[in-house]
A and B are shown apart, each in its own frame.
Chain A
Amino acid sequence: MGKLRHLDIGTGGGVSVNWFISGIRKRIKTEKLDQYQVMYPSILEGVSDYKCPTEALRNGNWDMDKCIFCRQCDLKPTGKQETYSVQHLVPDIFKKSLYLYPVDSGTCGACNVEFTSLFSPQYDSSRFKIFMANTPRHADALVVMGVHTDGMERVLQEAYDAMPEPKIVIGLGACALSGGIIGREAMEKYDIHIAGCPPTPASILNAIIEARDKR
Chain B
Amino acid sequence: MKYYKFGDKTGRYIGRTEKYDIYTSTITGIGKDEDDHEERTQGEIYFNYGPSAGGLRESVNFRLLTPGESIRDVIINSGFKRRNVKITGDSISDAMLKVERINGFHSASHSIAYALAVEDALNVENGDLNDARIVEIELERIRSNIDVIKGLCESAGFAVPEKQLLLLREEVARIISSAFGHRYYFSVNGINSIDGDFSRISLSSIEKQFRSIYNGLLSSKIFLDRLQENGILLNPVSSGPAARAANFRYDARLDSESLIYGKYSTVMETSGDTFSRFLVRAEEIFESINIIESYDIKKSYRKHRMELNGTGEGTARIESPAGDLFYYVNINEGRLIDIQMCSPSYLNMRNFRYGLKSGNIFTDFFFVWESFGIWISELEVGFQ
Give the B-binding residues of A (Cβ under 8 A).
1-2, 4-7, 9-12, 14-17, 19-20, 22-23, 26, 29, 36, 38-40, 53, 68-72, 101, 103-114, 116-117, 119-123, 132-136, 146-147, 149-152, 155-156, 159, 180-183, 197-198, 200-201
Contact = CB atoms under 8 A, between A and B. Distances in A.
B244 interface: no
Interface in B219-234: 219-221, 224-225, 228-229
B57 A36 contact: no
Contacts of A113: 57, 104-105, 147
Contacts, number: 194
Contact of B221 (A16, A39, A70, A107): A16
Given A152-B51, A181-B97, A11 B167 contact: no
Contact of A110 (B97, B107, B225): B107
Given A2-B229, A19-B216, A38-B177, A109 B53 contact: no
Contacts of B221: 4, 7, 14, 16
A109 B182 CA distance: 15
Interface residues of B, number: 63
A151 B77 CA distance: 11
A134 B166 contact: no
Given A12-B219, A14-B219, A183 B83 contact: yes
A10 B51 contact: no
B52 A104 contact: yes
Given A9-B218, A103-B59, A109 B164 contact: no
A108 B103 contact: yes
Contact of B54 (A29, A109, A133): A133
B160 A151 contact: no
Contact of B57 (A7, A22, A116, A134): A116
B167 A182 contact: no
Given A4-B224, A7-B219, A108-B102, A71 B181 contact: yes
Contact of B101 (A135, A182, A201): A182
Nearest to A37: B177
9 contacts: A17-B216, A71-B187, A106-B83, A116-B57, A120-B169, A120-B170, A121-B166, A183-B84, A183-B85
Contacts of B219: 7, 10-12, 14-17
B158 interface: yes
A197 B83 CA distance: 17
B170 A117 contact: yes
A182 B225 CA distance: 43
A109 B83 contact: no
Interface string B224-256: 110011000000000000000000000000000
B163 A121 contact: yes
Contacts of B58: 104, 107, 109, 112
Contact of A70 (B103, B104, B177, B186): B186
Interface in B42-96: 51-55, 57-59, 79-85, 94
B166 A120 contact: yes
B375 interface: yes
B101 A108 contact: yes
Contact of A53 (B94, B195, B275): B94
B187 to A, nearest CB: 5
B59 A7 contact: no
Given A134-B54, A152-B81, A1 B218 contact: no
A103 B163 contact: no
Contacts of B104: 107-111, 113, 198
B176 to A, nearest CB: 11
B184 interface: yes
A2 B170 contact: no
A180 to B, nearest CB: 8
A156 to B, nearest CB: 8
